[in-house]
Structure 1
Amino acid sequence: MSGLTGWARAGAYAAVALTAIACGDLVNHDDERPRRSVPVAALYLDDGHPTVLLAPCEHTRVIEVTVVDNSAHKIWTAVDSDPADPATTVRVFAVPPGWTLEKHSAADFTELTPGHDYRLFTSLYSLLESSTRDSAPNFTFTPADLTALKPDQVWTVAGESSPPQATPRTEFQRAASAACGTP
């Protein structure tokens, strides 16, 4: 993509990331297990930095966190490369220990821009055979959504067809556990 400039390069990066995200379902196209939507990610500000709180089901890991700037067509993706030590939070634009920055990530995408619309994606990997095929709903957010949060709130969705909203952190964690079938 080095021959591309400006918007063409950003559009190409967006196409690559969205294709990679969509391919998660394509790989499992023949998987006949019922699909279960599990809200495993929420956003909040940690000392002013956008941070993803992860609450995957037991025997499931979040293996990828992607933020897409819908306005500027930029992508940031961190991939968990350390299966022995799963992360419970991922600070956006700061790769956690044991994770790697995906090569399609835009080098100049290092902060959220006021007035831009974003989308959070998370990819799941099941460590055990399961009767369901779990997927995490993606959701939109803006910097204003995050700055409006109270200290005990996160920005998340209750399920795949639910709109994103501010939710108490304990309610998010309880809902994630309930969606996993655990108390």
Structure 2
Amino acid sequence: MICQKTPLEGLLLLQPTVHADARGHFFESFNARVFEQLTGLKPAFVQTNESLSHRGVLRGLHWQVKPCEQGKLVRVVHGCVFDVAVDLRPTSSTFGQWYGCELNDTNHHQLWIPPGFAHGFLALSSTAITSYQVTAHHSAPHERSLKWDDPDLRIQWPLQAAGVEQPVLSAKDAGAAAWATMVRSRQF
């Protein structure tokens, strides 16, 4: 496995070693010992989530506040997504910056999103199955949502690659808070 640092401190892109032959392929999607050796981290995953999204569905940007912050290890089991993380740590030098990358069932890349980041993704394939392990259980009272198209964040979602002008959103995501509102209210 290869571990790449991203421009956002603590956000890591992981590339597993894939063993392929005429039968198909095999890879370890998670190995605690290797993960710790590469990252210095020992996440205790308590829940694994899976979502199926159709082309043009955008989920996010979501996170949970203290004491229920979540670290996430995200991968795509089927299809392709554009995955995004936004740094919400007020003391970070990259506070308010975002990073995006393509995760798919061909490259098998994974994104480690530490606590203190918002997360979302846009389905680029006809269907996409995303699986992610989290370090804290879901807690509705601690969950927050940030506006996907906030003008202050300027996330460059590849809507054209998804074949849509506007993404398909849940009611919660359509009514998510603006970045400026979150900063003023210190809801991180």
Work out whether the TM-score is over 0.5.
no
- Relative to total residues, which structure has the larger strand share, 1 or 2? 2
Q: What's the TM-score bracket when you normalise by the shorter of the two chains? A: 0.3 to 0.5
With the length of structure 1 as denominator, give the TM-score of the two structures.
Answer: 0.34
Q: Of Structure 1 and Structure 2, which has the larger fraction of its residues in helix? A: 1
